[in-house]
Amino acid sequence: MVPGRPSVPPPAATIGAVADASLFERVGGREGVDRIVETFYGFVEADAVQRAIYPDDLEPGKRKLKLFFEQWLGGEPVYSALYGHPRLRRRHFPFVIDDLAAGRWLRYMQAAMSECGVPREATAVIFERLGPLAHHMVNAGEDIPREPLGDRFME
């Protein structure tokens, strides 16, 4: 249960969702997802160029990525109960993302999953979807609204 928000049904429109409870289990469930995201953020922090894309405080983003992954991998849809439709491309508008940043994001996520012991075939299934999704987030040079969105609930 999520305080302050009614439960919402899982969003059918989550882009490229791999909603499959067994996949969520294969990454180690909620604990596995938490470990992967912590490890991923460790790589981001160690790379000054990638780090510069993120806000000073990394904790809110970490929390949201954990909730999003949990939902996207077939766990509970708590992310959408709190924030609504993921609208990931829109939510990334405040951050300038180029092809190189997308490549680094994917490399660090791959390294995090490997370090956290996600089985190779589960990683392969996940990256079939994550690859296009990360490149879909590229927005450098686009004339789009860059104002911060915070914790906005989106329909």
Q: Does 68 bind ligand HEM (CB under 6 A)?
A: yes
Q: Collapsing DSSP states into helix, strand and coil, what is residue 84?
A: strand
Q: Does position 33 bind ligand HEM by CB under 6 A?
A: no
Q: Quick one: which of 36, 78, 122, 133 contacts ligand HEM (CB under 6 A)?
A: 133
Q: Is 105 in the site for ligand HEM (CB under 6 A)?
A: yes
Nearer to ligand HEM, 28 or 61 (CB): 61
Reported as type and span, the H/E element at residue 144 is none
CB 154 within 8 A of CB 87: yes
Cα–Cα–Cα angle for 135, 43, 104, rounded to 5 degrees: 25
Q: Candidates 73, 102, 112, 113: give the one binding ligand HEM (CB under 6 A).
A: 102
Q: Which of 5, 64, 89, 90 binds ligand HEM (CB under 6 A)?
A: 64
* CA gyration radius, the chain: 15
